[in-house]
Amino acid sequence: MMENSTNRKYLITIIGPTAIGKTALGIEVAKHFSCEIISADSRQFFQEMSIGTAVPSAEELAAASHHFIQNKSIFEEYTVGDFERDAIAKLDELYQANDFAVMVGGSGLYIDAVLKGFDDFPDIDPTVRENIIADYKTKGIEYLQEELQRLDPAYYGRVAKENPQRMMRALEVSIGSGRPYSSFLNIKKNSRAFTPLIIGLEADRAAMYDRINRRVDIMIENGLIEEARTLYPHKKLNALQTVGYRELFSYFDGEISLEFAIEEIKKNTRRFAKRQMTWFKRTEGTVWLDFMIPHETIAGSVEKRLLLL
């Protein structure tokens, strides 16, 4: 174990696409540093969703202490802001006993929330958003695009024009504050009591897709269909609007066959993994490693890299 004479705190963060091996690596690193794990996988927060979210097994959970695994119910609202607050509080607690902690997850927004926090926006009168939603419903997405281009051309130039939620949020802030939404971005600098080291796992596309396909097959064998059936009465809940459940709900509705539903789960999971990599590749300072490198080798190299921070 490295000497940490400066008494600095370190958050070893492991990112990458689904099914790449983040859980196993996180456990190996946590064992190496005798520390605990913060899970930043937003799908694994929920108690009722085990198989379809690939929650760590009982053996994996016993191998290292995990936090934020199945700590909420699908009937509870739990936002990324809630997670940021709770995760930072838990890290403050863990750092009382150990200079090291591990964060593992595939939810880029939740990873960013812990590492960097969010921009600080003013409180806006709720009626502003209600009016924007009403206008969107009657005038369509073109209305949002035209208004945003008028009120905040800088943000309009980089926002996804097909994403109404992001444009409505930008309009809400612009109209409610009287200032362009973009003027609030990247102003607040969140201080963190730790130094991050970010390790990214990657694989070539064929290997990644093969791992995803095999994982879905294992989920089906382990009872994903039965798990989804128990959740079917609650299919409209936000927590269940996710890959692996939506497709089976369509099967239960008689819209598609079971065989087609399973193939859709695989296809949509592959698309999800591609989006994850697009997000994570923008994460500055990430050390990218091949998923085939032995985990104990990576754990040892992490210690050497920490000496350079």
Binding residues: 16-23
Instruction: Report residue 163 as tokens.
Output: 């994403």
Helix axes 164-177, 126-139, angle to 10 degrees: 130
CA end-to-end span of the chain, whole Å?
A: 16
Q: What does the H/E/C string look like for 273-287? A: HHHHHHHHCCCCCCE
Q: Residue ranges for the binding site for ATP? A: 16-23
Distance CA(151)–CA(143), nearest Å, equals: 12
Q: Residue ranges for the binding site for substrate? A: 18-23
Whether 91 contacts 1, CB under 8 Å: no
Amino acid at 224: L
Q: Among residues 227, 264, 292, which one has the least CA distance to residue 25? A: 292
Distance CA(161)–CA(242), nearest Å, equals: 23
Q: Among residues 88, 36, 83, 113, which one has the least CA distance to residue 279? A: 113
Report the Cα 271 to chain-centroid distance in Å: 15
Where helices occur in 153-245 by DSSP H, the ranges are 153-156, 164-177, 205-221, 224-231
Distance CA(153)–CA(155), nearest Å, equals: 6
Amino acid at 77: E
Whether 25 contacts 295, CB under 8 Å: yes
